[in-house]
Amino acid sequence: RKGARGVLGSRTGGQKRESHTFVKDATERMIKVMEEQRQMLQSFLVLQTEQIRARPPLQRIPCPPKLSASEQLRSLR
């Protein structure tokens, strides 16, 4: 039964080449998109690092010395 697969079940050499070409082109496009994303992420990280380094360092806020309970009561009078 040579024709059992029918017309839709078999592929010609040309169809296989077209399919291979399509897959190859799609893969190359995907690789290009991924490379562009990598470059964008790298640029983002550089920018973020520059912003972090440009910030002034945090300053300590001096706190008043702690008073004992009796000293606090005296300061209220």
Q: What would the pLDDT profile of 27-59 be if each residue is shown by its tens digit? A: 999 999 999 999 999 999 999 999 988 988 888
pLDDT of residue 62: 85
Q: CA 52, CA 42: separation in Å to the nearest integer? A: 15
Q: Mean pLDDT for the chain?
A: 84
The two structure tokens encoding residue 54: 């440009």
The answer to whether the CB of 22 falls within 8 A of the CB of 14 is no
- pTM over the 0.85 mark: no
Locate the domains of the chain by residue range: 12-56
pLDDT of residue 9: 55
pLDDT of residue 36: 98
